[in-house]
Amino acid sequence: MALHAATLVKDGGTLQIGIGSFADALTHVLILRHTRNQDFRALIDALGVPLHPAAELTPFESGLYGCSEMLVDGFLHLKEAGILRRRAPNPPGPNGQRGGDAVVHAGFFLGSQDFYRRLREMPLDAANDVCMTAISFTNTLHGDEQLKREHRRHARFVNTGLTATLLGAVSSDQLEDGRVISGVGGQHDFVTMALDMPGARSMIAVRSMSRRGGRPASNIVWRYGNTTIPRQLRDIIVTEYGIADLRGKSDRDVVAEMLKVADASMQPSLQRQAIDAGKLERSFVVPLHALNNRAEHFRAALTPARRAGLLPSFPLGTEMTETEQSLVGPLGLLKSSSKLTLARLLLDGLSGRPSDTAERAALERMGLGAPQGITEHLLQAVLRGAIRLAQKT
């Protein structure tokens, strides 16, 4: 998703990003685009997806200006890489006077302990490039509107969602059964701002697939019981399979765009629902390149870069220990496993094979090094099985 999104970030433009793994990945890929451009282009080529008409692959000659509700680690990395360097005036102070300018304006700062340390130790001239200001400044065009429009040129507001419908609506904060799992934050503000400024675009990244109840499920659906961003505000949806540009398109063309970025295994059922609803003609054919939208294809395409260290799991670093990092895969596997898979992991974990040093350290970290009672023994065995399967893959 980050590779696709990075091609739409325009040199000389404005960037907003949020918190999380996708923002970290996008930061890393933008730095690759700027500092290792040939490697970046090779990664784009490896995906084998047609480029968006407005795609840019070149390094950042003019640089970017950051304007975001949240200042996260990524902005500091972009600044240090020489990408975040276009300046904009600071908002006026209490006395109405405007003092200086900055390369990034943000409402609040949130990151790792290393992030806070780097802010504290930053030389004064560099610190003055980073301006904490009001949310009313970053999230709206109200107040100094003409100046904001001038400096927020070619803005790219990049956020994430949980689910997207074939008609372009997005759910980012709530599940269909009513459970609220996140705040909306400034996402709605940034989407509406993108639609209100010439040259600005809103990009919402949605993983095409997830596992629910131990089974694969599509995050691109015909309809969904919660809406954060309605179809009337649709703009750009990014999945691991490419970019769906929805702005200004008819419902029929939006459905066609969304099918191009859906997992191939889900395309037939989604297409039938759209046809049954009268939104798509029966003769529609999914483009040839999109018929290869399978996780294993893209995983294989990026594996050489991962092995070469070009796409690390934690591109901006992590405070987790090596043992904790080793548990990310096994715990994710357990979270998404079916009952049958859990039973297989249990049997593998109960095998007589002795644990190696890394496995013992992982079990200790989870408090299962010396299990007490039948429940902890079973949990230890299941986790051991998941660790062993993760090591194989």
Tens of pLDDT, residue by residue over 61-118, are 999 999 999 999 999 999 999 999 999 999 887 776 667 899 999 999 999 999 999 9
CA end-to-end distance (rounded Å), the chain: 22
pLDDT value, residue 96? 66
Q: What is the CATH number assigned to the segment(s) 2-292?
A: 3.40.1080.20
CB 66 within 8 A of CB 190: no
* Per-domain residue ranges of the chain: 2-292, 322-392
Distance CA 86, CA 15 (A): 11
Mean pLDDT of the chain: 93
Mean pLDDT, to the nearest integer, of 353-370?
89
Q: Which band of pLDDT confidence, cut at 50, 70 and 90, is reported for residue 123? A: very high
Q: Indicate if the pLDDT at residue 393 is higher than 70.
A: no
pLDDT value, residue 185? 87
Mean pLDDT, to the nearest integer, of 36-63?
97
Q: Indicate if the pLDDT at residue 392 is higher than 90.
A: no
Distance CA 95, CA 137 (A): 16
CB 220 within 8 A of CB 275: no
Distance CA 271, CA 255 (A): 8
